[in-house]
Amino acid sequence: MNIATATKWINGGKDSAGIQVYNLHTNIVAQGMDMALDNSLYIANGKTYMGFNMPDAWYAFVSELKRMPNVVVEEAKTTGFPGYMVMENVIRENSILTWEIPGITGQYLRYIQKQGESNTSFEVTQKILQNPGAVEAVETITVPAGTFVCSKFVYTSSQEQIIKGSGNTPISRNGTDNVTLWVAHGVGVVRQENKTVFGGVASKSTIVLNNIKS
């Protein structure tokens, strides 16, 4: 099982309407790779809204593919972004977690790989389904940023990846992600644990809030 570690910190500010909006920054280190994520965070109508977008790593991968001399990228797009995870702020069991997503979350990539006098076309499609969740317990936990009373949300997501190569049988890989979030309302996620199985490979990650910056 692969282990990834990450730290989170929050920067606060106000938008043009004067609403308090935060940026939740996450830095993930896994298997020698370093990836940064930024998520908007705000509170309204008794709920916490945490935005999510396609990680920059996707765009970096596509850019690197375009620079390869034997590859022609014909199309690269994402769907279902940006979206929001919506968590009820009532600190009690069975408070719910839902999603506001504009369509199916996923990516699509089509490119041609040149090999001597022949060309091979590839299509890679990935779809991610986010399932609703709920609070299993109310717990007090301590992380580097401090001690917080948290709603412990649990939810799952599933994903499917299909790779098509010209003249070849499509390859399909599936996976599931079991996610646990400890959410301190007014602060956001202070701890996150992921247990993922994709293509038969299991991985585990733990992310903690390291600091809060004003």
pLDDT digits (tens, 9 = 90+) for 136-146: 999 999 999 89
Q: DSSP per residue over 133-163, as a string?
A: EEEEEEEEEEETTEEEEEEEEEEEEEEEEEE
**Half-sphere exposure of residue 44, counting CA atoms within 13 Å on the CB side?**
11
Q: Are 194 and 177 in contact (CB under 8 A)?
A: yes
Question: In what helix (H) or strand (E) does residue 65 lie, and over which residues does it extend?
Answer: helix 56-67
The structure tokens listed for 1 are: 């099982």
Tokens of 132: 């609703």
Lowest mean pLDDT among 28-32, 49-53, 164-168: 28-32
Domains of the chain, by residue range, sit at: 2-213
Beta bridge partners of 38: 25
Of 32-46, 126-140, 160-174, minimum mean pLDDT range: 32-46
Return the DSSP state at 69: T
Q: Whole-angstrom Cα distance, residue 87 to residue 184?
A: 11
Q: Comparing C-alpha atoms, which of 91, 21, 6, 19 is closest to residue 51?
A: 21
3-state secondary structure of 82: coil
DSSP assigned state of 5: E
Q: Which of 11-25, 26-40, 117-131 has the lowest mean pLDDT?
A: 11-25
What does the block give as tokens for 177? 């992600």
Q: pLDDT digit string (tens) for 159-214?
A: 999 999 987 889 999 999 999 999 988 777 889 999 999 999 999 988 888 887 65
Q: 110: which 2 tokens?
A: 């089509």
CA 6 to chain centre: 13
Both tokens of 78, joined, read 């994402």
Angle of CA points 206, 207, 211, to nearest 5°: 150
Least confident of 28-37, 51-60, 83-92, 99-108: 28-37
Residue 162 burial (10 A CB sphere; 0-12, 13-18, 19+): middle
The secondary structure of residue 125, as a DSSP letter, is: E
